[in-house]
């Protein structure tokens, strides 16, 4: 005796509709299913036009972010049994423009990630003869949590500031910048400072903290942003009170 779950999914077909609509499907399901399994069933067996993104189906690629029952979530990491009884409402990831059905445009997010220069920046590369860049476990621990980001953009979906101030660089980008700033192999903190300490950088954030609540990898971008506010402020006072100091 198969169980069924009611899927309420937001459809948006720009070639025929001006506004999104909701559609219901009764889907036979297994107890161990994720929301993604339900979507896949609908696409495979009921309506092949349902459009959505997914890839790894195990919570590491960051492709399947959507709004499930009003909260940003990875559909491949959300078990049906963890959701309250009743219809499962799946909508596109909030705060991003919807292209079709559950597919959103994340160009803005990707642009911002690139702008924070998320790579090791060296003033001078070590010559090969000097061997590898060494890093102790303690030094790794300083930024490791921040390196867990899978670029799923759930944090942008949870952040209320991002839709209100679209120029805001955003939680993941700032956390990623911090990941490199705190990496002892990196020497590029000053290059990232302009974007981080700009009006669209850390100062937009009012520590709502929702980004950290929804992050599937427990990166705590909110904490990373606050820590950068502290760093930035100390730097600001140093340069204001000691202008002759060489950076």
Residues that bind another protein (CB under 8 A): 12, 14-15, 19-20, 70, 94-99, 105, 107-108, 111, 138, 141-142, 160-161, 163-166, 194, 197-199, 203, 206-210, 213, 220, 222-223, 226-227, 229-230, 232-233, 235-237, 240
Instruction: Give min distance, CB of 180 to another protein, in A.
Output: 16
Q: What are the distances in angstroms from CA 5 to CA 2, 71, 86, 101, 184? A: 10, 19, 8, 20, 50
Instruction: Give min distance, CB of 154 to another protein, in A.
Output: 14
Question: Which candidate, 38, 41, 10, places its Cα nearest to that of 24?
Answer: 10
Q: Which residues of 203-237 are buried (b: 16+ CB within 10 A; e: fewer)?
A: ebbeeebbbbebbbbebbbbbbbeebbebbeeeee
Instruction: Give min distance, CB of 108 to another protein, in A.
Output: 5
- Residue 22 or 207: the one with the smaller Cβ distance to another protein is 207
- Residue 133 or 236: the one with the smaller Cβ distance to another protein is 236
- Residue 2 or 240: the one with the smaller Cβ distance to another protein is 240
- Residue 50 or 222: the one with the smaller Cβ distance to another protein is 222
**Tokens linked to 168:** 């805001």
Question: Which candidate, 131, 51, 128, 127, places its Cα nearest to that of 90?
Answer: 51
Q: Is the dihedral of CA 225, 230, 232, 233 positive or negative?
A: positive
- Residue 17 or 44: the one with the smaller Cβ distance to another protein is 17
């Amino acid at each position: 005796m198969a169980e069924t779950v009611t899927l309420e999914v937001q459809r948006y077909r720009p070639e025929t509709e001006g506004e999104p609509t909701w559609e219901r499907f009764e889907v036979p399901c297994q107890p161990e299913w994720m929301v993604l399994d339900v979507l896949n069933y609908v696409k495979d067996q009921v309506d092949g036009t349902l459009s959505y993104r997914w890839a790894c189906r195990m919570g590491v690629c960051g492709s399947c972010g959507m709004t499930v029952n009003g909260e940003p979530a990875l559909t491949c990491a959300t078990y049906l049994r963890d959701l309250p009884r009743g219809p499962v409402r799946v909508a596109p990831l909030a705060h991003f423009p919807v292209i079709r059905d559950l597919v959103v445009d994340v160009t803005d997010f990707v642009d911002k990630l690139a702008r924070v220069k998320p790579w090791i920046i060296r003033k001078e590369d070590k010559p090969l003869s000097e061997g590898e860049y060494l890093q102790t476990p303690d030094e790794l621990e300083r930024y490791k949590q921040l390196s867990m980001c899978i670029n799923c953009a759930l944090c942008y979906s949870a952040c209320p500031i991002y839709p209100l101030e679209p120029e805001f660089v955003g939680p993941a980008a700032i956390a990623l910048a911090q990941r490199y700033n705190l990496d002892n192999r990196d020497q590029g903190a000053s290059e990232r400072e302009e974007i981080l300490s700009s009006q669209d950088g850390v100062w937009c954030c009012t520590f709502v903290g929702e980004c950290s609540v929804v992050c599937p990898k427990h990166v705590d971008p909110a904490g990373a942003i606050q820590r950068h506010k502290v760093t930035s402020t100390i730097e600001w006072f140093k340069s204001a009170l000691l202008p002759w100091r060489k950076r």
